[in-house]
Amino acid sequence: MDRVIVITGGSRGIGAATAVLAAKQGYRICINYQSDDTAAHQVLDEVRALGAQAIAVRADVSDEDEVISLFSRVDLELGPVTALVNNAGTVGQKSRVDEMSQVRIMHTLKTNVLGPILCAKHAVLRMSPRYGGQGGNIVNVSSVAARLGSPSEYVDYAASKGALDTFTLGLSKELAGEGIRVNAVRPGYIFTDFHALSGDPGRVSKLEPLIPMGRGGRPEEVAEAIIWLLSDKASYTTGTFLDLGGGR
């Protein structure tokens, strides 16, 4: 079976590292992104240079019309999706809950919870034998924040990842009899541009002394876990969480 992977938020950080590793494994790749065409096309060039058939598709994962268009383009240009990585995510500026606006909280929840649920829905419509599919795999990119809570930083973000974990559990059981595995990775502090969103681009380096392993993680280390969970080597694994937090 041809393997077709959709990586949401594939233009930077963990998503981009996953796209590069997927190219080395022979997947056809859809790199989704929200706004940064230049970054997405850099990753596209990189995976094509590795010999992968690939496309870059701009779509806001929290808008169902855009998600429908995304998966339709994948159908036409790569074939139906067999692997989904729900990686796109966002975080607001570091603050206490009593200082957060409704707009910020809604943006976090829409991107980090509604987005993965909508993308999973449209992937399942292609993967499930109920609709003529042949099974597939989903990996949700959660965070160790789901079990630590991120007090005085971004409790809304931590809560969104907690919801994603519960979604992972429920969906894995719902689909276990249909040849679709659903798992999650929970990264800790990883060196990406993500931390600039919270107003602290140097956050990972600053916090390294608090990490039991004494260092931040690399996006490639998270990508390895994602690609393993998607592979047949993880064939009896569903509804699980792989923490990549250096011991946090």
Q: Which residues contribute to the site for ligand NAP (CB under 6 A)?
A: 8-9, 11-15, 32-36, 39, 60-62, 87-90, 111, 115, 141, 143, 187, 189-190, 192-194
Looking at the Cβ atoms of 111 and 238, the one nearer to ligand NAP is 111
Nearer to ligand NAP, 133 or 245 (CB): 245
Nearer to ligand NAP among residue 27 and residue 194 (C-beta): 194
Determine whether 214 is exposed, middle or buried from the number of CB atoms within 10 Å of its CB (0-12, 13-18, 19+): exposed
| CB of residue 124 to ligand NAP, shortest distance in Å | 19
Least Cβ distance, residue 190 to ligand NAP (angstroms) = 4
CB of 25 to ligand NAP, least distance (A): 19
Find the shortest distance in angstroms from Cβ 210 to ligand NAP.
13
Task: Give the residue with the Cβ less far from ligand NAP, 119 or 133.
Answer: 119
Q: Closer to ligand NAP at the Cβ: 4 or 144?
A: 144
Is residue 33 annotated as part of the catalytic site, yes or no? no
Question: Least distance from C-beta 161 to ligand NAP, angstroms?
Answer: 7
Phi/psi class of residue 4: alpha, beta or left (left: φ > 0; alpha: ψ in -120 to 50)? beta
C-alpha–C-alpha distance, residues 209 and 204, integer Å? 10
Indicate which residue of 27, 154, 157, 189 is catalytic: 157
Could you list the active site residues?
157
